[in-house]
């Protein structure tokens, strides 16, 4: 898929930035509502797929069952596993683009450079790497986990071996017989460490905080099951509904009744006892915070990998990187040839927040000051006609983000329809509505395991505020995004000749 045959239009009604699950979901929903909608997507990479295009590390898979982690409007009977692997999720997204005929609207290799709200014309003035355009409505679908984070360790620049981040895996670098250090023990590390361990000469895993790990109840989907899903799509819909339902039950514990969480942590403790025989390693892998406070990890082979004789688990943290080694907090030096950083992302300061400038000239990043907030996770006062997908306080620890994205797409479509029908040129959420909404969000989060579970996590900003998690059931979010309430917004009426 290339942009070579297409020319970026000079103006467009809706500009979507990003062609991952969020952007593809948004454009699909817009066109479903209005097949003649004037909408285009720009994507900085050369292909669609977002995080499922970028994360190609060995073993990369989704830890939410695929029947739920897929678009409700595009079920696939072809998944090979209950927890799909990265290549097939990427293929799935490409398939949705093809099936819905979206290629003609997607400009790959086109990066957003800046978007400034032009109050006089009620338009976004947008600069991209392929030229300028104006957009009436801007949809930022750039993902929260798209900018890899490297640790700020003294000496990192001196390392003479090979280093890379899990999200930018170096496939040209052969790990065979290498001494490898892995920094970080989150959702990415648990997937790739068991995949590379048989190749490496020695593997040293640097853990800062142990995570709760439970078995991944994965299985391959047989021919019969796939045939049934193809012949009777309602059966797959029923499975999706069942998974959705039991996953929602988790919220009851995570957000409302943390007292029941020890039942699940006992399962994790049993899993740990079964997989790790070395008592010192087992102690190092036992978390001291409530399950769910950090993302609970699913793996059948991570813990037992750390129990191997050819694997070192270093739990004192790292203090320095030298030309050829990683040094722990006790001053022990671990000579290595390769360092793989599995140190996560920077979700609270996405690059797009520096590129988008609102009506008072401030960027989103300046307005947020490191702690993003929005109204219904989607709109921000002072940024008219801007819709954020996977915006502040829409992340989940228990279910599928695709469900949240589809809810936001509903809200966007409801807004576009009302703007069209009521001839509204610009909508800007009131400061009051946004403040009230955020008071509710943060009151609701205060007793949850994400805020009060006794850990530090990427869900919390430097002030201990949680701009990331949705605090309750996902159907509450679905209901609150069903209709765009114009009463929460300052409205600019459209002129008689305006095309909406």
Residues that bind ligand NAP (CB under 6 A): 61-64, 145, 151, 166, 183-189, 206, 208-209, 295, 317-318, 342-345, 458
Of the two residues 42 and 183, which places its CB atom closer to ligand NAP in the complex? 183
Judge whether 325 and 344 are in contact, CB under 8 Å.
no
Nearest to 66 by CA among 41, 42, 90, 39: 90
Q: Which helix (H) or strand (E) holds 31?
A: helix 21-33
Q: In sequence order, what DSSP letters do the residues of 337-368 get, joined into one string?
A: SEEEE---B-TTS-THHHHEE-TTS-BHHHHH
93: left (phi over 0), alpha (psi -120 to 50) or beta: alpha
Nearer Cβ to ligand NAP (100/284): 284
What phi and psi values does residue 104 have, to the nearest 5 degrees? -65, -15
Q: How far is the CB of 81 from ligand NAP (least distance, A)?
A: 12
Question: Which C-beta is closer to ligand NAP: that of 386 or that of 469?
Answer: 469
Task: Work out how close the CB of 82 gets to ligand NAP at its nearest, in angstroms, rounded to a whole number.
Answer: 13
Tokens, residue 363: 């960027």
Closest CA relative to residue 338, chosen from 195, 149, 196? 196
Pairing of strands 123-128, 112-118: antiparallel
206 or 368: CB nearest ligand NAP: 206
For residue 469, how many other CB atoms are within 10 A of its CB?
A: 24
What whole-number distance in Å separates Cα of residue 500 and Cα of residue 487?
20
Taking the CA atoms of 298, 304, 307 and 309 in sequence, report the sign of the dihedral they define: negative
Whole-angstrom distance, CA of residue 19 vs CA of residue 407: 17
Residue 151 Cβ, how far from ligand NAP at the closest point, in Å? 3
Angstrom distance (rounded) from CA 281 to CA 335: 21
CA distance 88 to 81: 10
Which residue number, 33 or 320, has a Cβ lying nearer to ligand NAP?
320
Helices (H) and strands (E) in the chain, counts: 15, 20
DSSP tag of 105: G
Handedness of CA 448, 262, 145, 73 (dihedral sign): negative
Q: Are 41 and 107 in contact (CB under 8 A)?
A: yes
Q: List all residues 6 or more positions away from 29 whose beta carbon is below 8 Å from its beta carbon.
A: 73, 406, 409, 410, 412, 413
The smaller minimum CB distance to ligand NAP, of residues 161 and 344, is found at 344
What is the C-alpha to C-alpha distance for residues 335 and 147, in angstroms, rounded to an integer?
28
Q: How far is the CB of 169 from ligand NAP (least distance, A)?
A: 12
Q: Which is nearer to ligand NAP, 123 or 398 (CB)?
A: 398
Minimum Å gap between C-beta 142 and ligand NAP is 15
Cβ closest to ligand NAP, residue 253 vs residue 342: 342
Question: Among residues 61 and 196, whose Cβ is nearest to ligand NAP?
Answer: 61
**Nearest distance, CB of residue 189 and ligand NAP, angstroms:** 6
Least Cβ distance, residue 188 to ligand NAP (angstroms): 4
Q: Which is nearer to ligand NAP, 268 or 412 (CB)?
A: 268
Instruction: Give whichever of 30 and 145 is closer to ligand NAP, judged by the CB atom.
Output: 145
Q: Residue 456 CB, nearest distance to ligand NAP (Å)?
A: 7
Please name the helix (run of DSSP H) or strand (run of DSSP E) that holds residue 164, with its range, or none: strand 162-165
Instruction: Give the residue nearest to ligand NAP (CB).
Output: 186
The least CB distance from residue 185 to ligand NAP, in Å, is: 4
Tokens of 239: 């499975």
Beta carbon of residue 186, minimum distance to ligand NAP (angstroms, whole number): 2
We find the least distance from the C-beta atom of residue 348 to ligand NAP, in angstroms, to be 12
């Amino acid at each position: 898929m290339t942009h070579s045959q297409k020319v970026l239009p000079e103006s467009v009604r809706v500009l979507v930035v990003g062609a991952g699950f969020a952007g593809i979901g948004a454009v699909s929903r817009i066109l479903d509502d209005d097949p003649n909608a004037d909408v285009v997507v720009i994507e900085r990479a050369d292909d669609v797929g977002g995080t499922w295009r970028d994360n190609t590390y060995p073993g990369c898979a989704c830890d939410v069952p695929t029947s739920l982690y897929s678009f409700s409007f595009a079920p696939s009977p072809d998944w090979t596993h209950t927890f799909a692997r990265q290549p097939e999720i990427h293929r799935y997204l490409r398939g949705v683009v093809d099936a819905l005929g979206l290629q003609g609207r997607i400009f790959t290799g086109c990066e957003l450079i800046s978007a400034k709200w032009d109050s006089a014309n009620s338009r976004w003035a947008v600069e991209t790497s392929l030229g300028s355009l104006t957009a009436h409505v801007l949809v930022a679908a750039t993902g929260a986990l798209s900018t890899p984070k490297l640790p700020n360790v003294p000496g990192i620049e001196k390392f003479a071996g090979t280093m890379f981040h899990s999200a930018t895996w170096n496939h040209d670098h052969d790990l065979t017989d290498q001494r490898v250090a892995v920094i970080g023990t989150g959702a990415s590390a648990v997937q790739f460490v068991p995949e590379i361990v048989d190749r490496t000469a020695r593997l040293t895993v640097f853990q800062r905080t142990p995570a709760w790990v439970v078995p991944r109840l994965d299985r391959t989907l047989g021919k019969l099951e796939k045939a049934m899903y193809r012949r009777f799509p309602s059966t797959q819909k029923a499975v999706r509904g069942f998974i959705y339902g039991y996953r929602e039950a988790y919220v009851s514990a995570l957000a409302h009744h943390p007292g029941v969480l020890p039942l699940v942590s006992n399962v994790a403790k049993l899993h740990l006892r079964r997989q790790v025989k070395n008592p010192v390693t087992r102690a190092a892998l036992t978390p001291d915070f409530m399950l769910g406070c950090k993302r609970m990890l699913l793996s059948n082979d991570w813990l037992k990998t750390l129990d191997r004789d050819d694997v070192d688990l270093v739990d004192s943290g790292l203090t320095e990187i030298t030309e050829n080694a990683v040094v722990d907090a006790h001053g022990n030096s671990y000579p290595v040839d390769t360092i793989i950083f599995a140190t996560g992302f920077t979700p609270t300061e996405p690059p797009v927040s520096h590129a988008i400038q609102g009506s008072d000239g401030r960027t989103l990043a300046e307005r947020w000051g490191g702690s993003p907030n929005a109204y219904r996770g989607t709109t921000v006062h002072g940024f008219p006609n801007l819709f954020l997908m996977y915006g502040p306080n829409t992340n989940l620890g228990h279910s599928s983000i695709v469900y949240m994205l589809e809810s936001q797409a509903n809200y966007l479509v409801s807004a576009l329809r009302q703007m069209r029908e009521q001839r509204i040129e610009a909508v800007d959420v009131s400061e009051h509505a946004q403040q009230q909404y955020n008071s509710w969000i943060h009151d609701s989060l205060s007793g949850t395991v994400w805020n009060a579970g006794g850990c530090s996590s990427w869900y919390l900003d430097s002030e201990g505020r949680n701009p990331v998690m949705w605090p309750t059931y996902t159907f509450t979010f679905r209901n609150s995004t069903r209709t765009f309430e114009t009463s929460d917004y300052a409205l600019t009426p459209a002129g008689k000749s305006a095309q909406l």
